[in-house]
Structure 1
Amino acid sequence: MAMDVDAMIDRRRLRRKLTFWRVATFIVIAAALIGGIAYIAGASNLSKRKAHIARIPIEGMILENRKTLEMLEKIGKSDAVKGVIVSINSPGGSTTGGEAIYGALRKLSEKKPLVTEMRTIGTSAGYLIAMSADHIVARYNTITGSIGVLFQFGNIERLLDTVGVSMEAVKSAPLKAEPDFYSPTTPEARAMLQAMVTDSYNWFVEILADRRNLAPNKARELADGRVLLGNRALQEKLVDAIGGEEKAVEWLETEKGVAKDLPIVTWTSKESIEELPFAARISREVGKGLGTAIVEPLNDAKGLISRGLMLDGLVSVWQAPVAADNKP
């Protein structure tokens, strides 16, 4: 009987110890998480409050993004931003997306010294955005150019015929909803599309001639859709210098009087952790850790279909050629 009592006492002691260590472990982890979040938020806020050069990444498919435009406006109002580097690595995207960012950067350049740096690729709408600055830097092997406008559409009429499906339409006018995917494109519809593409193209060429100080005929010659490496682009006056970010910084310092050795801070349009309420920061980080980022904003969520595959309207994008299989 005495042994049973001793065993019961030992079990109670062990249970108390386990409870203590579980609570202690939870408190330590929670404190570390809260401290880490507070440190990250504080460091990020501090870096943007001190004098710095703002780096704006323009990467991947270019679309019109309201948050990006709001961020550019915020940079223009920040006294801590002494210069801006637009860092481009993009094949282009929607023409209106490029137009919106180009316009916002031109306004920003009236308030802050601004330079663009093209990395692996800066073509089409990507190059349009690069022209927002008075100085463009590119690597020797940066792919650039591809100046022009594209409107693509598919037609699956033969496929529908094969599976025995026909499409009918009643229209208010012949050009309504043209082109469609189930019937041949009429000459009138093709002329309408060509006029639209030509109008957008002329707008692009006018910007090229104005921003790069080119004669209209020379600008149109270069705007034939060709792609060039950075060194050739330098010869054609599409870029101003060969190099990387350090070359862009050098121009800001020597030509625009930006103080030397300022830190470079990356600004992004994605929701940053320091902008969230304190409780939301904890929930977001814990959620990410568990793989259940419930508070992740919709525009940051991963989807089954890439946004790059959902471009509407006119596009200014360079499409890398795909090698076809050799057929006899």
Structure 2
Amino acid sequence: MKSFLRSMLAAFVALVLFFGGGFALLMLAVAMFSFVGKSAGPRVPTVPSGAFLVVNLDTHFRDAPAGPPDFTMALLGGGHLPPTVPLRRALDAIRTAADDERIKGVVIFGGDSATGIAERRELRAALADFKESGKPIRAYLSLASRSQYYLASVADKIALDPFGFVAIPGLASQGLFFKNAFEKLGVGVQVTRVGKYKSAVEPFTSDGLSEENREQTQMLLNDVWGSLLGDMAASRGLEVSEIQAAVDAEGVLLAESALKHGLVDELVYRDEFLAAMRAEAGHGSDGAGNRSFKQISLQKYSRALRAGERAGVFVEKAAAEKKKSVAGEAGGARKPRGRVAVLYAEGAIVDGRGGPGQIGGERFAQELRTLREDSRVSAIVLRVNSPGGSASASEAIQRELSLAAQSKPVVVSMGSVAASGGYWISTPAQRIFAEPVTITGSIGVVGVFFNIESLSEKLGLNFETVKTSRFADTGAIDRPLTAAELSIAQRSVDWIYDKFIERVAEGRGLAPDFVHEIAQGRVWSGLRAQRLGLVDELGGLGEAIAYAAEAAGLEQGRYRVSEYPRPTQFGEALAEFFEEFMQEGFGEARALKANAVVRGLWQRAASELRALESYNDPQHVYARLPLILELN
């Protein structure tokens, strides 16, 4: 009965959201679900003894802590709501499972999600740590993409559907350019910039890649692909050249070919794989009412661990054990308890408070100020996943982080993207960690000015202006900037670029001339950025937290990790509700997914249009990564 009610309520909420029902109806649904949950007792998942931990790769492993999912793209994409797990909780769960006697091993099932490339690498590292425990990792793939195979390649044994394939042809970056469309619409764009590689505005001003942009993108792709290929080859006991030759020759490797080239270990149907797992682990349920092998999903296992964390202390044990002491030993004395604050900077950097998925300069600076002044916070880890944005907002955040660094250790952990303004805000850190596949750098500045002069003429609109001085209406959308106004804008861009160089040189201990040489708006991989001195260490969020704790003199096992911005209790409850809702009530909805091509086109267009909303700097000056830089 309880399962039936949950499914009914899940369907009800889906209808409310899809047909635009009011907020009150959604709250009513949540209240009804809470009533059902309370009447049935606590809903803490049980971990079966001897179970396999199931990692579904269609899970979205996001940086920020708990919060309700974004339904917009999911519903427009055909009703698919992928399960979501905060990255740090997923990493901790996988590493904890290595020492958990109840967990017998890990099973990886294929699937694609919006998880970033650096976050996938962190997950893979956690799975590699799990593997060192001696417990088995199995993987089952059907139509394996690059991102699926990259994670699954860590497994001891990979099974592939006989009618499946492995598609790991490499990486590509495809740009979307608006210049011709803007001209047809009558929208004008004027640009001021510094840095020959600063290509953030190319989508608006050009109909193709500049030579400089093509050069930097090619180098970035080569670095990232080389890192991914090296990881896959090492796990499979192959040479990089062997995998490269196979994918260059065939592009998509059909099942027999994938087996022949050593990319998989066996070809079996899903029912055969499940039967083998039942023989190894015993009978159980897959969580959806189907008879399967004894298992628990990563989402539920993480929730079970978290239920225990609420009464204890969360420590990045696995990462801390790998790090050498930074603070040194205090004569054998017990080191004090404390707290490491992890602050998530995720999204475009915008002026003001910002909205969902954005880093508002005013709001974020206030959050940093609170952490700086909180005596309970011993160290701050800034987790950056941002392409940058407003220069003035980036400076406001950088200023607060600089002040914090004067009183406590400040460490930066870079995710998939920490570039331009995302790098600007990282400069005060005592230590910067990045993955080899992180996109960073892009130290440059642009000014962007849109106008609708031609469009207004087409529409028969007329603007009349009255002003008191020559430049009073600078930036008005009814006309282009004059030569004098463009000169003023360029002067502002030049000045801000010099300040950007100054921030990097001071924060990284580098000569300004050298910073100027490697800046120019050029993007770098995390691997190359480390060689240039823009990054200190290659590693993930766990390593950054461990370093910050040790730098603050905190002893392993005697500090707490707190995440910010903090979700409200209601937000966490709502997030947990949606986790179950997506797993149980929406399980069948995956069959309703829209055509992948149509969905991909819509998501790409929507992503580009949403990015335009972040162009709100009052001076129209931006430290922003190129919009077109997407790795596929």
More deviation in 165-174 or 140-149? 165-174
What is aligned with 2:554?
A: 258
Matched, 1:309 2:624: no
CA distance 1:89–1:34, change in 2 (3 Å): farther
CA distance 1:26–1:111, change in 2 (3 Å): closer
Query: Which one-letter code corresponds to 1:90 in the other structure?
Result: S
Query: Which one-letter code corresponds to 1:58 in the other structure?
Result: A
Query: Which one-letter code corresponds to 1:213 in the other structure?
Result: G
Q: State the Cα distance separating 1:249 from its structure 2 match.
A: 3.4
Q: Give the one of 217, 220, 224 matched to 2:516.
A: 220
Matched, 1:321 2:608: no
Confirm or deny: 8 A CA contact 1:62 1:90 kept in the other structure: yes
TM-score (norm 1): 0.70
Matched, 1:58 2:354: no
Confirm or deny: 8 A CA contact 2:369 2:400 kept in the other structure: yes
Number of aligned residue pairs: 273
Query: Which one-letter code corresponds to 2:419 in the other structure?
Result: T
What is aligned with 1:145?
A: 441
Distance 1:221 1:26 in 2: 59
SS at match of 1:54: strand
Q: 1:185-200 counterparts in 2 under 5 A?
A: 185-200=481-496
Q: Give the one of 228, 233, 240 matched to 2:529.
A: 233
Q: State the Cα distance separating 1:196 from its structure 2 match.
A: 1.2
What is aligned with 1:245?
A: 541
TM-score (norm 2): 0.38
Confirm or deny: 8 A CA contact 1:84 1:112 kept in the other structure: yes
SS at match of 1:130: coil
Matched, 1:100 2:100: no
Q: State the Cα distance separating 1:214 from its structure 2 match.
A: 1.5
Query: Which one-letter code corresponds to 1:82 in the other structure?
Result: S
SS at match of 1:71: helix
**Residue deviations 1:51-110 (CA, integer Å, cap 9, x gap):** 332211110012344443333233234444332211110101211221121111122222
What is aligned with 1:180?
A: 476
What is aligned with 1:16?
A: none
Distance 2:559 2:470 in 1: 59
More deviation in 65-74 or 95-104? 65-74
Confirm or deny: 8 A CA contact 1:88 1:117 kept in the other structure: yes
Distance 1:208 1:32 in 2: 57
What is aligned with 1:160?
A: 456
What is aligned with 2:381?
A: 85
More deviation in 169-178 or 305-314? 305-314
Confirm or deny: 8 A CA contact 1:205 1:219 kept in the other structure: yes
Q: State the Cα distance separating 1:157 from its structure 2 match.
A: 1.8
SS at match of 2:341: strand
SS at match of 2:445: coil
Query: Which one-letter code corresponds to 1:135 in the other structure?
Result: R
Confirm or deny: 8 A CA contact 1:61 1:308 kept in the other structure: no
Confirm or deny: 8 A CA contact 2:344 2:565 kept in the other structure: no
Q: State the Cα distance separating 1:184 from its structure 2 match.
A: 3.2
CA distance 1:79–1:189, change in 2 (3 Å): closer
Distance 1:27 1:157 in 2: 55
**Residue deviations 1:259-309 (CA, integer Å, cap 9, x gap):** 224566343235623xxxxxxx69x96xx99xxxxxxxxxxxxxxx95960
What is the RMSD computed on CA atoms of the aligned residues?
3.7
Q: Give the one of 411, 415, 435 matched to 1:115.
A: 411
CA distance 1:104–1:145, change in 2 (3 Å): same
Confirm or deny: 8 A CA contact 1:57 1:266 kept in the other structure: no
Q: 1:20-59 counterparts in 2 under 5 A?
A: 51-59=338-346
What is aligned with 1:72?
A: 368
Query: Which one-letter code corresponds to 2:405 in the other structure?
Result: S
**Residue deviations 1:232-254 (CA, integer Å, cap 9, x gap):** 11111111111112332343355
Distance 1:312 1:138 in 2: 28
Query: Which one-letter code corresponds to 1:222 in the other structure?
Result: I
Query: Which one-letter code corresponds to 1:319 in the other structure?
Result: P
CA distance 1:177–1:41, change in 2 (3 Å): farther
* Bigger fraction of residues in strand: 2
Distance 2:519 2:527 in 1: 17
Distance 1:271 1:66 in 2: 19
What is aligned with 1:125?
A: 421
Confirm or deny: 8 A CA contact 1:116 1:133 kept in the other structure: yes
Ranges in structure 2 where 5+ consecutive residues have no aligned partner: 1-31, 44-305, 315-336, 351-359, 579-608
**Which is higher, the Rg of structure 1 or of structure 2?**
1
CA distance 1:171–1:217, change in 2 (3 Å): same
More deviation in 75-84 or 106-115? 75-84
Q: State the Cα distance separating 1:159 from its structure 2 match.
A: 2.3
Distance 1:26 1:269 in 2: 26
Distance 1:30 1:127 in 2: 45
CA distance 1:99–1:224, change in 2 (3 Å): same
Confirm or deny: 8 A CA contact 2:446 2:623 kept in the other structure: yes
